[in-house]
Amino acid sequence: MKNFAICYNKTIEHSAEVMHQVKQMLLKHGMTAESHDIDDLKSGYDFVFVIGGDGTILKAARFYARTSTPIFGINLGRLGYLSQSSKEDIKTSIEKILNGDFRIEDRIMLQSGEKIALNDFVVKGTTTGRTSRFSLKINGKLVCDYLADGIIVTTPTGSTAYGLSAGGPVISPLLNAFVIVPICPHTLTARPIVIPDNEVITICSDKDLTNYVASTDGQEFYEFAKEIEIKKSRYTAKLALLDGVEFYSVLRNKLHWGISPANI
């Protein structure tokens, strides 16, 4: 790897400071790196360090997935579920990366039109404070109708985000599957569905409403009138993961999975 970039979120405290720290560490190892604000990303790199919270990493992942560029997250946010390093561990992390002690994990993504998402697509009605009616089709076949606040279509990577909060299952990122999770459905029989990632999901709006709104990773919002088709993207997010760090340890350490509340 020769061409490095450092993306940082200048709205997050200490992000510029950490960006300069990473740049200096790379210089000490004979490497140079260009820095970019998360709102002004550029391509043409072999490897990208991303400084910020999960939202910063999601935005960078969508951008760099289109050029198959690996990204490595340094957390300055709250949870930092997608990050591999904290600012206290930067020196060790950079040394491991430069020594090749990491792996690249391809994470499947969702796509609707030209929009892509690493975590999820969320569909809701535009009428605030009211439930909406949705029809769900898979491969063109009607599955069910929902009366709910919305529907989440999530990847395994995103299963620990909004989908988990809405009652969906945790899915290993190594599985080729998607999860469809209704948000506050008005029936006890409406439950999350896990489907293969080669199936096409269509969410149809209620004909009595003018528009529905969809979001990608909770960051890009756009309206649609009749239906939205969501499927597996041709792009994958390439996350750089340090050797020795695996999915279940992240569940334990960051989500306090299976730990007694008295020990948190």
* Structural Rg of the chain based on CA atoms: 20
3-class DSSP state for residue 191?
A: coil
Does position 209 have pLDDT exceeding 80, yes or no? no
123 plus 216 within the same structural domain? yes
With contact defined as beta carbons under 8 Å apart, do 240 and 101 qualify?
no
What CATH number did the domain enclosing 145 receive?
A: 2.60.200.30
Final residue of a structural domain among 65, 81, 100: 100
> What is the pLDDT, as a whole number, of residue 206?
73
> What is the pLDDT, as a whole number, of residue 80?
59
pLDDT one-digit tens code per residue, 52-83: 989 999 999 999 999 999 999 998 866 556 87
56 plus 133 within the same structural domain? no
Q: Is residue 262 part of a domain?
A: no
Q: Is residue 263 part of a domain?
A: no
80 plus 139 within the same structural domain? no
Give the C-alpha separation, 70 to 47, whole Å. 5
> What is the pLDDT, as a whole number, of residue 179?
98
3-class DSSP state for residue 61?
A: helix
141 plus 226 within the same structural domain? yes
In the annotation, is 54 catalytic? yes
> What is the pLDDT, as a whole number, of residue 84?
75
Q: Look at the chain and count its residues.
A: 264
48 plus 127 within the same structural domain? no
80 plus 116 within the same structural domain? no
pLDDT one-digit tens code per residue, 240-264: 998 877 777 767 766 666 666 565 5
**Structural domain range at position 160:** 111-233
119 plus 211 within the same structural domain? yes
84 plus 137 within the same structural domain? no
Give the C-alpha separation, 197 to 177, whole Å. 4
Residue 55 burial by Cβ neighbours in a 10 Å radius (0-12, 13-18, 19+): middle
With contact defined as beta carbons under 8 Å apart, do 103 and 243 qualify?
yes
How many structural domains does the chain have?
Answer: 2
Q: What is the pTM of this model?
A: 0.91
> What is the pLDDT, as a whole number, of residue 56?
94
What CATH number did the domain enclosing 91 receive?
A: 3.40.50.10330
Q: Is residue 61 part of a domain?
A: yes
> What is the pLDDT, as a whole number, of residue 205?
82
Does position 200 have pLDDT exceeding 80, yes or no? yes
Final residue of a structural domain among 75, 100, 125: 100
Query: What's the whole-number average pLDDT of the chain?
Result: 89
Question: Looking at 54, 106, 197, 206, which residue is catalytic?
Answer: 54
> What is the pLDDT, as a whole number, of residue 264?
55
Torsion angle, alpha carbons of 199, 66, 218, 231, to 10: -10
Residue with tokens 């649609």: 224
Q: Is residue 241 part of a domain?
A: no
96 plus 151 within the same structural domain? no
